[in-house]
């Protein structure tokens, strides 16, 4: 095992996009930021120096952070921010039993729009992939671009209590120019595409003209080889897919296009880049893939339902026994405008994301993890997060379920778990303010996706549909539009872990909850004390 060490200098960078020059926040003067490559068993050490004008924190999305909750990164959850003007913090964590494509990103404000990069975990040297070794690989980071400071975009949304302004373009590897050459291929060879959805607010369809894929991993968890010609990635999710270069030697577009789950949405955008064959003998213009309709939920749901986990000797089996069952409803509702929301419509109120009708409030004085470690949550959080929604109603109803609006309350409430217990959560998308697909991301764990479906979860009908044999694992589940998903995980990682919607505008509105996991009985089940440079408020 090696030590993989990086220094991330966060600061201003001026870039040209869409014919304008713009100052963005970026790492080491690169956009997207540096790629981190490690092998299973390695220790990753990243020294972050914040010379940007904003508070900063970095999250290593999908890294399990076993016994290193301090390095997880979400602002005010696992740490106070790294201050502007040269603040520093060293993130240190081990790669434990993980292979595949992950990524890192800022976890404060909307800054992850430009502060992100790939985090590639390769098999240990003696191991190798559980599929034929690809000839080469390409990392494909899908993102969004605003002709504005993203901190201002977020501020405006918060002041108004509504959706943020749409981005003006999608990006592929940071570029808006649709004709850049991303990959050159040799006919007959197989390529590994490592696809990351780093967009803030859009789920995406991804295709390559005249080619199909074999999906081999999702969120750095191996899947059974799954053949498809369209890939669906929600914000936060990753897909590793093999692509065989078996088309006529020519030029082909890859395209990422917004998938809008909201039935009445009209917004669509597409980003493209080129794949070119060596020795191409073709002067014809590159071919565009034919994309699904931008609101094609059936295609999205078929893709997710087709994924199963790869069974290998080392694959842990689904824990058969469940200690804690939760039914968690979540979605967007409304709450009265706060005094500081100066642009908020006093009649309509402010958007409030919630889980079990609690709209999560970030603490101000101290991070949740610090309060957890000092053994006294008083004044920072309570352990009152309900296991079930306090009010039941027809969750899958269309927008305007009137009375339900009144129920969203604000609070910093956590769900406490005993070390090692097995937790099953039915995630029910409530669709009070429009039926939209919400990608829910859990920090600190991979979970099994046992089942998912449309409409209301029904224990009698749906428990029989659970896949307890080979469900796929991941860290971010796109809960279907007005539907549900059931996840199961073992709480064997001490610390404080956020689960939140990875549509970035929903996090500051409170679409989040917290799991607090106690230390366990053995030394390898204890969270060590914080590192000496741990940022405090």
Locate 261 and state its tokens.
């789950």
> Cis omega before residue 32 (within 30°)?
yes
443 binds ligand C2O (CB under 6 A): yes
441 binds ligand C2O (CB under 6 A): yes
- The pattern of x and - marking residues 59 through 98 that bind ligand C2O according to CB under 6 A reads x-x------------x------------------------
CB of 512 to ligand C2O, least distance (A): 8
Whichever of 119 and 172 has its CB closer to ligand C2O, that residue is 119
506 binds ligand C2O (CB under 6 A): no
Interaction residues for ligand C2O, span 231-290 (CB under 6 A) = 236
Secondary structure letter of residue 346 according to DSSP = T
Locate 352 and state its tokens.
């409030």
Whichever of 194 and 500 has its CB closer to ligand C2O, that residue is 500
Count residues binding ligand C2O (CB under 6 A).
Answer: 11
Whichever of 431 and 498 has its CB closer to ligand C2O, that residue is 498
Residue from 500, 509, 513, 535 touching ligand C2O (CB under 6 A): that is 500
Locate 471 and state its tokens.
């469900």
CB of 246 to ligand C2O, least distance (A): 34
438 binds ligand C2O (CB under 6 A): no
Cα–Cα distance measured from residue 380 to residue 363, given in angstroms and rounded to the nearest whole number: 6
36 within 8 A of 104, measured Cβ to Cβ = yes
**What do you get for the CA distance between the two ends of the chain, in Å?**
35
Query: Among the candidate windows 166-174, 280-288, 310-318, 497-505, which touches ligand C2O by CB under 6 A?
Result: 497-505
Polymer length in residues for the chain: 537
194 binds ligand C2O (CB under 6 A): no
- 3-state SS track over 248-314: CCCEEEEEEEEECCCCCCCCCCEEEEEEEECCCCCCCCCECCCCCCCCCHHHHHHHHHCCEECCCCC
If you write DSSP's letter for every residue of 368-410 in order, what string do you get? HHHHHHTT--TTT-BS---SS-SS---TTPPS--GGGGGG-EE
CB of 444 to ligand C2O, least distance (A): 10
CB of 441 to ligand C2O, least distance (A): 5
Query: Among the candidate windows 4-12, 408-416, 457-465, 495-503, which touches ligand C2O by CB under 6 A?
Result: 495-503
Measured in degrees and rounded to the nearest 5, phi and psi for residue 312 equal -130, 170
Measured CA angle at 109 (ends 108, 112), to 5 deg: 70
Residue from 6, 17, 66, 107 touching ligand C2O (CB under 6 A): that is 107
161 binds ligand C2O (CB under 6 A): no
Residue from 17, 66, 105, 506 touching ligand C2O (CB under 6 A): that is 105
Could you tell me how far CA 231 lies from the centroid of its own chain?
16
Q: Which parts of this chain interact with ligand C2O (CB under 6 A)?
A: 59, 61, 74, 105, 107, 236, 441, 443, 498, 500, 502
């Amino acid at each position: 095992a090696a030590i993989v060490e990086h220094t991330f200098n966060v600061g201003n960078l001026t870039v040209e996009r869409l014919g304008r020059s713009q100052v963005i926040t970026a790492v080491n003067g690169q956009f997207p930021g540096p790629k981190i490559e490690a092998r299973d068993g390695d220790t990753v050490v990243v020294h972050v120096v914040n010379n940007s004008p904003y508070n900063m924190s970095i999250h290593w999305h999908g890294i399990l952070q076993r016994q290193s909750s301090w390095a997880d990164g979400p602002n005010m959850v696992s740490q106070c921010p790294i201050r502007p003007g040269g603040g520093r913090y060293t993130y240190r964590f081990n790669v434990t039993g993980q292979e595949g494509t992950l990524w890192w990103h800022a976890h404060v404000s909307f800054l992850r729009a430009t502060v992100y990069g790939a985090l590639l975990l390769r098999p240990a040297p003696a191991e190798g992939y559980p599929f034929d070794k690809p000839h080469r690989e390409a990392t494909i980071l899908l993102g969004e671009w605003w002709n504005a400071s993203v901190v201002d975009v977020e501020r405006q949304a918060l002041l108004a209590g509504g959706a943020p302004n749409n981005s003006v373009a999608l990006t592929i590897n940071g570029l808006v120019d649709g004709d850049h050459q991303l990959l050159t291929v040799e006919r007959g060879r197989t390529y590994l595409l490592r696809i990351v959805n780093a967009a803030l607010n859009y789920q995406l369809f991804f295709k390559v003209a005249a080619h199909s894929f074999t999906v081999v991993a999702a969120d750095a968890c191996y899947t059974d080889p799954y053949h498809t010609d369209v890939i669906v990635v929600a914000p936060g999710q990753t897909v590793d897919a093999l692509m065989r270069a078996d088309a006529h030697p020519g030029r082909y577009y890859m395209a990422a296009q917004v998938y809008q789950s909201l039935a009445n949405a009209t917004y669509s955008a597409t980003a493209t880049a080129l794949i070119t064959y060596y020795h191409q003998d073709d002067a014809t213009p590159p071919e565009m893939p034919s994309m699904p309709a931008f609101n094609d939920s059936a295609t999205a749901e078929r893709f997710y339902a087709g994924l199963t986990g790869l069974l290998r000797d080392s694959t842990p089996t689904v824990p058969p026994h469940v200690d804690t069952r939760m039914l968690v409803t979540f979605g967007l509702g409304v709450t009265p405008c706060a005094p500081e929301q100066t642009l908020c419509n006093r009649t309509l109120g402010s958007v409030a994301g919630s889980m079990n009708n609690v709209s999560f409030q970030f603490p101000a004085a101290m991070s949740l993890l610090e309060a957890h470690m000092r053994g006294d949550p008083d004044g920072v959080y309570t352990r009152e997060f309900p296991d079930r929604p306090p009010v039941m109603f027809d969750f899958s109803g269309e927008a305007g379920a009137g009375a339900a609006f009144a129920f969203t309350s604000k609070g910093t409430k956590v769900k406490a778990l005993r070390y090692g217990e097995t937790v099953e959560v039915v995630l029910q998308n409530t669709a009070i303010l429009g039926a939209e697909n919400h990608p829910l991301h859990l920090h600190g764990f991979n979970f099994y996706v046992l089942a998912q479906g449309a409409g209301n979860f029904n224990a009698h009908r749906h428990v029989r549909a659970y896949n307890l044999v080979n469900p796929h694992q991941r860290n971010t589940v796109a809960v279907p539009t007005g539907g549900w998903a059931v996840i199961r995980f073992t709480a064997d990682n001490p610390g404080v872990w956020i689960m939140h919607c990875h549509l970035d505008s929903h996090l500051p509105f409170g679409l989040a909850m917290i799991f607090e996991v106690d230390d366990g009985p053995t030394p390898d089940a204890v969270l060590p004390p914080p590192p000496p440079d741990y940022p405090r408020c």
